[in-house]
Amino acid sequence: MLDRLSLLKTILWALVGVLAAVSVVRFAFGLGAVTNLSDAAPWGLWVALDVMAGVALAAGGFVVAAAVYVFHLEQYRPFVRAAILTALLGYAAVAAGLLYDLGLPWHIWHPMIYWQHHSVLFEVALCVMFYLTVLALEFAPAVLEHPCFARPAFQTIARGLRQATLPLVVAGIVLSTLHQSSLGSLFLITPYRLHALWYSPILYVLFFVSAVALGLATLIAESLLSSFFYRHKAPLRLLSGLGLGAAVVLALYALLRLGDLAWRGQLGACFDGSWLSRMFLFEMALSTLIPMALLCVPRVRSSLAGLALCAGLIVAGMVLYRVDVCLVAFARPEGSGYFPTWMEIAVSLGLLAACVLVFLFLVERLRVYDDPHVRGAPQPSYDPATLHNLLPDELAAPRRYSLAALLGGCLAVVFLPLGAPQPVATAALPARAAAGIAENRQGEPGQTLAFAVPDRPLPADAQPASLLVIDGNRDGQMVLFNHGAHIGRMGRHESCALCHHLSLPLDRNTSCFECHRDVYGPTPLFRHESHVKALGGNAGCRQCHADDSLPKTYETSTACDQCHRLQVASAALVPAPAARWHPAPGYVDAMHGLCVNCHEKSAREAPEHYSPLLSRCDHCHDPDRAEQRQPLAPSRP
Partner 1 sequence: MIEHPAILIDTTLCTGCERCVAACKQVNELGHDRPWRGQQAVDSLSATRYCTILRRPGRRYVRQQCRHCLEPACVSACLVGAMQKTPEGPVIYDPHKCMGCRYCLVACPYGIPRYDWDRAVPYVRKCTLCYARLKPGEAPACVESCPEKAALFGPRDAMLAEAHRRLEAGRGKYLKHVDGEHEVGGSSVLYLSDVPLDFLAWQPNLDDRPLPQRTWASLAKVPPIIVGVAGLMTGLHWIIGRRMKAALESAAQASPSPAGNDDAPAPSPGDEEHHA
- Taking the alpha carbons at both ends of the chain, their separation in whole angstroms is 95
- 89 vs 173 by CB, closer to partner 1: 173
In terms of DSSP H, where are the helices of 30-151?
31-34, 45, 54-57, 60-65, 77-101, 110-113, 120-144
Under rule CB under 8 A, which residues in 142-181 are in contact with partner 1?
Answer: 166, 169-171, 173-174, 177-178, 181
Helix axes 342-365, 77-101, angle to 10 degrees: 150
- 28 vs 150 by CB, closer to partner 1: 28
Contact pick of 1, 117, 380, 537 for partner 1 (by CB under 8 A): 117
- 55 vs 566 by CB, closer to partner 1: 55
Helices vs strands, H then E, count in the chain: 27, 4
Q: How far is the CB of 253 from partner 1 (least distance, A)?
A: 18
- 35 vs 86 by CB, closer to partner 1: 35
Q: Which DSSP category does 582 fall into? A: B
In terms of DSSP H, where are the helices of 537-596?
541-544, 560-563, 587-589
Part of the chain binding partner 1 (CB under 8 A), chosen from 154-162, 335-343, 391-399, 492-500:
335-343
Q: How far is the CB of 72 from partner 1 (least distance, A)?
A: 5
Q: How far is the CB of 596 from partner 1 (least distance, A)?
A: 13
- 27 vs 154 by CB, closer to partner 1: 27
Q: How far is the CB of 75 from partner 1 (least distance, A)?
A: 5
In terms of DSSP H, where are the helices of 264-331?
275-284, 290-295, 298-301, 304-323
Under rule CB under 8 A, which residues in 303-332 are in contact with partner 1?
Answer: 331-332
Residue 118 interacting with partner 1 (CB under 8 A): yes
In terms of DSSP H, where are the helices of 324-431?
342-365, 396-415
- The secondary structure element, H or E, covering residue 575 is strand 574-575
In terms of DSSP H, where are the helices of 444-526?
483-490, 496-499, 512-515
- 105 vs 491 by CB, closer to partner 1: 105
Q: How far is the CB of 22 from partner 1 (least distance, A)?
A: 15
Q: How far is the CB of 479 from partner 1 (least distance, A)?
A: 22
Q: Which DSSP category does 567 fall into? A: B
Q: How far is the CB of 118 from partner 1 (least distance, A)?
A: 5
Helix (H, G, I), strand (E, B), or coil: what is residue 157? Answer: helix
In terms of DSSP H, where are the helices of 366-495?
396-415, 483-490
Helix (H, G, I), strand (E, B), or coil: what is residue 432? Answer: strand
Query: Would you tell me how many other CB atoms lie within 10 Å of the CB of residue 46?
Result: 25
Helix (H, G, I), strand (E, B), or coil: what is residue 608? Answer: coil
Residue 129 interacting with partner 1 (CB under 8 A): no
Q: How far is the CB of 344 from partner 1 (least distance, A)?
A: 13
Closest CA to 78 of 63, 91, 64, 92: 64
Helix (H, G, I), strand (E, B), or coil: what is residue 376? Answer: coil
Under rule CB under 8 A, which residues in 62-101 are in contact with partner 1?
Answer: 66, 69-75, 77, 101
x/- binding map, residues 262-301, to partner 1, per CB under 8 A? ----------------------------------------
Residue 567 interacting with partner 1 (CB under 8 A): no
x/- binding map, residues 579-608, to partner 1, per CB under 8 A? ---------x--------------------
Contact pick of 298, 376, 446, 631 for partner 1 (by CB under 8 A): 631
Contact pick of 111, 317, 340, 408 for partner 1 (by CB under 8 A): 111
Residue 464 interacting with partner 1 (CB under 8 A): no
Closest CA to 343 of 26, 2, 11: 26
Part of the chain binding partner 1 (CB under 8 A), chosen from 108-116, 260-268, 531-539, 555-563:
108-116
Q: How far is the CB of 222 from partner 1 (least distance, A)?
A: 21
Helix (H, G, I), strand (E, B), or coil: what is residue 231? Answer: coil
Strand partners, 431: 582
Contact pick of 150, 297, 410, 420 for partner 1 (by CB under 8 A): 420
| Phi, psi angle pair for 79, to nearest 5° | -85, -15
Helix axes 120-144, 165-185, angle to 10 degrees: 150
- 102 vs 251 by CB, closer to partner 1: 102
x/- binding map, residues 11-50, to partner 1, per CB under 8 A? ----------------xxxxxx---xxxxxxxx-------
- 56 vs 286 by CB, closer to partner 1: 56
x/- binding map, residues 220-259, to partner 1, per CB under 8 A? -----------------x----------------------
Contact pick of 186, 449, 519, 590 for partner 1 (by CB under 8 A): 186
Size of the site for partner 1 (CB under 8 A): 89
x/- binding map, residues 479-518, to partner 1, per CB under 8 A? -----------------------xxxxx-x----------
Residue 204 interacting with partner 1 (CB under 8 A): yes
Q: How far is the CB of 137 from partner 1 (least distance, A)?
A: 17
Q: Are strands 479-481 and 574-575 parallel, antiparallel or unpaired?
A: unpaired
Distance, CA of 179 to CA of 187 (rounded, Å): 13
In terms of DSSP H, where are the helices of 302-395?
304-323, 342-365
Residue 424 interacting with partner 1 (CB under 8 A): yes
- The secondary structure element, H or E, covering residue 16 is helix 4-29
Who's near 574: CB < 8 A, 6+ residues apart?
434, 435, 436
